[in-house]
Amino acid sequence: MALIDVRHITKTYNSTAVPVHALRDVNVHFEKKEFTAIVGPSGSGKTTLLNILGGLDAPTSGEVLIGGQNITGMKESALVEFRLRHIGFVFQAYNLIPVLTAIENVEFIMLLQGVGKKERHERARALLADVGLADRLDSRPSQLSGGQQQRVAVARALASRPRFVLADEPTANLDSESTTSLLDMMEEMNAKYEMTFIFSTHDARVIERAHRVITLEDGRFQEDKQ
């Protein structure tokens, strides 16, 4: 059984005079331990696909199965709980909570999960050490560089022990050195925790490092290179 099974996904936006077909009958599956980039020009549908995989957007038709469970059509309350337990997110804009320290940001998702205080703290410390920030536990986002903030975001995504991590243009705001460092760290996490990473990206540096590259164009599945 595939970790993620995408079946005949179509997404059409009708908010304008002319319907926008973001995805057209996309079929693809993802296995455990993948390190995959979804690529294509602007408007190709890659972010839409990522949002549907994460249950942040609903398809017009088709279905997404995660571990055999169909998340399409789930009630919003059930979907929120499913995302909390099973999916990690890394966003282009980091989305850290400004008033919390690095370790508090990483602990926050575990707090929502009901993980005990001692375990939260130990897990967050270990993850921040893994991403090279053992000496910045008490720093707030404003005291960290962009690359360091994105590392905190990755540690936070892994803290919930999700089945997979979705990363939407995670290197878009980073310089070359920070991008290389972040990708090194993500590959290490992929190997160490057998964690699936799925990126949407324009970044040639990410595409070069991906173990699998899926190309979308005009909402259609074009190529799958491994």
Measured CA to CA in angstroms, residue 89 lies from 24, 94, 118, 150 at distances of: 24, 10, 24, 11
How much is the pLDDT for 28?
Answer: 95
Q: What is the CATH number of the domain that holds 115?
A: 3.40.50.300
Asked if residue 59 lies in contact with residue 11, where contact means CB atoms within 8 angstroms, the answer is yes
- 11 in a structural domain: no
pLDDT, residue 182, reads 87
* Domain count within the chain: 1
Give the integer Cα–Cα distance in Å for 26 and 99. 41
Amino acid letter, residue 107 = E
Q: Does some domain include residue 15?
A: no
Residue 23 lies in a domain: no
Q: Is residue 2, in this structure, part of any structural domain at all?
A: no
For residue 117, being part of any structural domain is answered with yes
- pLDDT confidence of residue 42: 86
State the residue for tokens 């059409």: 12
Tokens matching residue 56: 């942040």
Per-residue pLDDT of the chain (226 residues), as tens digits, is 789 999 999 999 987 778 889 999 999 999 999 999 999 988 899 999 999 999 999 999 999 999 999 999 899 999 999 999 999 999 888 899 999 999 999 999 999 999 999 999 999 999 999 888 999 999 999 999 999 999 999 999 999 999 999 999 998 888 888 889 889 988 998 998 888 999 999 899 999 999 999 999 999 989 899 8
Say what the pLDDT of residue 145 is. 93
Question: Is 54 part of any domain?
Answer: yes
Cα separation of 139 and 83, whole Å? Answer: 27
Matching residue, tokens 């009958």: 25
pTM here is 0.92
Say how far apart CA 80 and CA 160 lie, in whole Å. 14
Query: For residues 65 and 206, what is the distance between their CA atoms, to the nearest angstrom?
Result: 26
Q: What is the pLDDT of residue 175?
A: 86
* Cα(116)–Cα(128) distance, integer angstroms: 18
User: For residues 118 and 22, what is the distance between their CA atoms, to the nearest angstrom?
Assistant: 45
Whether 173 maps to a domain, the answer reads yes
Is the Cβ–Cβ distance between 199 and 210 less than 8 Å? yes
Domain assignment present for residue 128? The answer is yes
Q: Please name which of 23, 9, 5, 118 lies closest in space to residue 66, comparing C-alpha atoms.
A: 5
Write out the residue range of the structural domain in which residue 133 sits.
32-59+72-225
Q: How far apart are CA 9 and CA 11, in angstroms?
A: 7
* β 69-70/4-13 pair status: unpaired
Residue with tokens 């997979």: 164
